[in-house]
Structure 1
């Protein structure tokens, strides 16, 4: 299979596209209300938010357009060795082409490079393709949330060792 997409670190010129993707994809899966990442302050300035220490965010570019993204950052309110996989969303143009697995590898590699030993994520019922990717990537479900993300709308939590 030919790879017709590119994954690269986010740049300031990507901020509007990434914000638009987050605001389009989250409601598609019922995650538009209170308690979801769509309302996080960083959504409008992702490049600046992920320029902070121990943070990385990547975009998927296809046909010259940004069609997805994902990143890692320290887990808010969590232990120092735990990062969170954050804001990994893809437009339909980036689904089913292997970009999710490739993005996951970029994020986990970045997490290791930042010195994290575990990676946590939050999602919700109905995001079945995402949960299948998480399980294929070595994540195991846990029974309760970790840290203090403020995303009380999420009802599924996963973790994996790095």
Structure 2
């Protein structure tokens, strides 16, 4: 039986999610500029993901947020392409099948919202994340789609929904 659950973010989760995202980025050696680290959205993820065609999920275990991910329209491609955003897991969440469940839940949401494709940006040295995306039918493409503002992300992936 799982000791964790995936649920939608609540306002009281905002600070934990911000700390989780930033701690994983620091752990991975990600630049603090031109990546999710400096996103203003991290200050209020609940508000960022309010509205139509957006959702942000957290993984909760023993009252602690151990992972998170969101889906939203890809800026500049809003009609048909969604973006898998800010998917991060603390070390204790990794290797337990949680990432796979999270991606499935996010892809289901994207499909329900009428999106045809899902896009993600990552970094070359985030190998485990790239393996997980590849297992979930994401394929590397040459150039970025949309306008995420994450100019330090150099790996672009997309999949059909």
Q: Is the structural similarity TM-score above 0.5?
A: yes
* Residue 107 of structure 2 is aligned to residue 114 of structure 1: no
- For residues 59 and 106 of structure 1, the distance between their equivalents in structure 2, rounded to whole angstroms, comes to 11
- Superposition TM-score, scaled by structure 1 size: 0.96
- For residues 52 and 83 of structure 1, the distance between their equivalents in structure 2, rounded to whole angstroms, comes to 14
- For residues 55 and 31 of structure 2, the distance between their equivalents in structure 1, rounded to whole angstroms, comes to 24
1:79, distance to aligned residue in structure 2 (A): 4.7
1:51, distance to aligned residue in structure 2 (A): 1.1
- For residues 57 and 147 of structure 1, the distance between their equivalents in structure 2, rounded to whole angstroms, comes to 20
Does the aligned pair in 1 maintain the 2:82–2:118 contact within 8 Å?
Answer: yes
* Residue 137 of structure 2 is aligned to residue 138 of structure 1: yes
**What is the aligned partner in structure 2 of residue 11 from structure 1?**
10
Residue 100 of structure 1: SS of its match in structure 2? Answer: helix
**What is the aligned partner in structure 1 of residue 57 from structure 2?**
58
Note the alpha carbon deviations across 1:92-134, whole angstroms, 9 max, x for none.
Answer: 1111111100100111011111111100000001111100110
Gaps of 5+ in 1: none
Does the aligned pair in 1 maintain the 2:31–2:152 contact within 8 Å?
Answer: no
Runs of 4+ in 1 over 4 A off after TM superposition: none
Residue 103 of structure 2: SS of its match in structure 1? Answer: helix
**What is the aligned partner in structure 2 of residue 147 from structure 1?**
146
**What is the aligned partner in structure 2 of residue 82 from structure 1?**
81
- For residues 32 and 153 of structure 2, the distance between their equivalents in structure 1, rounded to whole angstroms, comes to 11
Residue 151 of structure 1: SS of its match in structure 2? Answer: coil
**What is the aligned partner in structure 2 of residue 39 from structure 1?**
38
Residue 93 of structure 1: SS of its match in structure 2? Answer: helix
